[in-house]
């Protein structure tokens, strides 16, 4: 039995219930909504979320795979430093797109083979956002030529940027990561570093070196809770592949079991997983090949005289 009583206090309803010799008094508070949200708390929550957004440095991020990686991480609410060497217009475009997604970004012009530039790049990220959580080493160049005709500058330029640059960036970023005992590093290598290629001894050596560096760094930094992994793309759609003659493209696709070129966004998705996903916490020292099955087919066929253009990777 329920009997409605009087108002115990303004905006409250008071009830007396009885039954089986028990009498209970229940008070219900009457709440009204004024049509507005608790903006103060929302601002605090927004600031907290903004503070917790991972800080990411992506080298060579103005074009191709690097651009796709920077945009993917920007869409994931990261604060992204977009490194570039020459393509300032494209870098600014990437930065603007990240901000349009609701993220934060800044651009940094620098040569990753130059130690001073690398130190300045990492300092720029720390000065702006307080730390570095993720490093993606993507910057790279090619100077193709047969080994018998390759001069020392062709060799050294590629080794300096594609391998020494990765070494310098890992060293600089890991200094920040070791202090907080947390971080993720993803190095972009290539299937050419796994299987080699005619006319690309320098590029192949550099990318193979990145694989060895990845494994050694993973062992050294594991005790600091820093994971280090590598991604090895195969043929990825780009401005270069768009200019291939139909007959060359046909031969190329015959070497790929999936029968198509990869997309930069597919590489970026794998990098995002390794960089941000909690499920990747226990993965380190690994090389992930993303090539449509090309590497396994190349090893099986040992295609004689076939030369690949690394600008497609």
Return the active site residues: 203
Contact 157, 141 (CB under 8 A): yes
Q: Is residue 229 part of an annotated ligand binding site?
A: no
CA angle 216, 84, 212 (to 5 degrees): 15
Helices and strands (H and E) in the chain: how many: 12, 10
> In Å, what is the CA distance from 126 to each residue of 78, 122, 209?
14, 6, 28
Q: Is 207 annotated as belonging to a binding site?
A: yes
Phi-psi region of 77 (alpha: psi -120 to 50; beta: other; left: phi over 0): left
- 63 marked as part of a ligand binding site: yes
Contact 310, 206 (CB under 8 A): no
Q: Is 12 annotated as a binding residue?
A: no
Buried b (16+ CB within 10 A) or exposed e, 179-192: eeeebbbbbbbbbb
Count of other CB atoms within 10 angstroms of residue 129: 21
- The whole-angstrom separation of Cα 188 and Cα 191 is 10
61 among annotated binding-site residues: yes
* Beta bridge pairs of residue 107: 82
Consult the annotation and say whether 60 binds a ligand.
yes
Q: How many Å apart are CA 61 and CA 59, to the nearest integer?
A: 5
Please check if 62 is assigned to a binding site. yes
Burial zone of 266 (CB within 10 Å; 0-12 exposed, 13-18 middle, 19+ buried) = middle
84 is in an annotated binding site: no
Is 236 assigned to a binding site? yes
What is the C-alpha to C-alpha distance for residues 73 and 138, in angstroms, rounded to an integer? 14
Q: Is residue 138 part of an annotated ligand binding site?
A: yes
- 206 annotated ligand binder: yes
Residue set of the binding site for NADP(+):
60-63, 138, 203-207, 236
Residue set of the binding site:
60-63, 138, 203-207, 236
């Amino acid at each position: 039995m329920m009997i409605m009583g009087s108002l115990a206090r303004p905006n409250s309803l008071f009830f007396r219930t009885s039954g089986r010799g028990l009498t209970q008094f229940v008070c219900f508070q009457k709440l009204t909504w004024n049509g507005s949200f608790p903006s103060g708390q929302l601002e605090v929550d927004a600031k907290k979320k903004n503070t917790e957004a991972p800080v990411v440095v992506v080298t060579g991020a103005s074009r191709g795979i690097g651009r796709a990686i920077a945009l993917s991480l920007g869409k994931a609410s990261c604060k992204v430093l977009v490194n570039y060497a020459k393509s300032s217009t494209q870098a600014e475009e990437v930065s603007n797109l990240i901000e349009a997604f609701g993220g934060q970004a800044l651009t940094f012009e620098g040569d990753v083979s130059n130690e001073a530039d690398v130190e300045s790049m990492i300092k720029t990220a720390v000065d702006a956002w307080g730390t570095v959580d993720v490093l993606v080493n993507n910057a790279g160049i090619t100077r193709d030529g047969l080994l018998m005709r390759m001069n020392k500058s062709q060799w050294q330029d590629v080794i300096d940027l594609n391998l020494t640059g990765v070494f310098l960036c890992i060293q600089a970023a890991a200094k920040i990561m070791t202090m907080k005992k947390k971080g993720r590093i993803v190095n972009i290598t290539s299937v050419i570093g796994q299987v080699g290629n005619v006319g690309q001894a320098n590029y192949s050596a550099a990318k193979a070196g990145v694989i060895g560096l990845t494994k050694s760094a993973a062992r050294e930094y594991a005790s600091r809770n820093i994971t280090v992994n590598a991604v090895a793309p195969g043929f990825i759609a780009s401005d270069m592949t768009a200019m291939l003659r139909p007959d060359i493209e046909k031969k190329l696709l015959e070497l790929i079991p999936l029968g198509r070129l990869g997309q930069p966004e597919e590489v970026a998705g794998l990098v995002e997983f390794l960089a941000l996903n909690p499920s990747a916490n226990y993965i380190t020292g690994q090389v992930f090949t993303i090539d449509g099955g090309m590497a396994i087919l190349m090893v099986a066929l040992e295609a004689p005289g076939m030369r690949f253009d690394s600008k497609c990777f």
